Amino acid sequence: MVQTQMTKRLSSETTVAALQAALVAARESGAAVCVALVDDAGQLAGFVRAPGAFLISADLSIDKAWTSAGMKMSTRELGEALATMPSQVRDGLLRRPRLTEVPGGVPIIVDGAVVGGVGVSGGSAEQDDAIAGIALRFVQENIS
């Protein structure tokens, strides 16, 4: 017998609203950031760059979202895990395009399934993590 599993997906409306929630949080914290959301396949679902954000933050926010969705953990957790691994494993993984251990990426997990990832870049590591967390909570509370 074939079993099917219904998985929730990011809608355009939820994605845009989550980006807006992240921008509001960034503005309140005084950080000029880029925010990216990817879907469950790691494809860009939404992106926004606040005026004044570093140019490199655009690509880095997308990389953080992609990494967290693909690795099913935050980029901060990935960095901590890699610190315990042999140098060949750590260096090999970090040579992969788009994979990053820079804090600010979190997977979007709903009902035990990864439905995407959020990446924030441009503030401090703590600001990026906090802003990503706000976008994550928004998605988790509003996904259908």
Report in angstroms the alpha-carbon separations of 134 from 23, 25, 95.
10, 7, 30
- The tens-digit pLDDT sequence of the chain (144 residues) is 677 666 788 999 999 999 999 999 999 999 999 999 999 999 999 999 999 999 999 999 999 999 999 999 999 999 999 999 999 999 999 999 999 999 999 999 999 999 999 999 999 999 999 999 999 999 999 987
Q: What residue spans define the domains of the chain?
A: 12-142
Check: CB of residue 114 under 8 Å from CB of residue 41.
no
pLDDT of residue 35: 98
Neighbours of 68 (CB within 10 A): 31
In whole angstroms, what is the distance from residue 78 CA to residue 73 CA?
A: 7
Residues in the chain: 144
Q: pTM of the predicted model, to two decimals?
A: 0.93
pLDDT of residue 73: 98
Residue 128: phi and psi, rounded to 5, are: -60, -45
Contact residues for 40 (Cβ-Cβ < 8 A; gap 6+): 7, 9, 69, 113, 114, 115, 116
pLDDT of residue 5: 64
- Look at domain 12-142 and name its CATH class: alpha beta
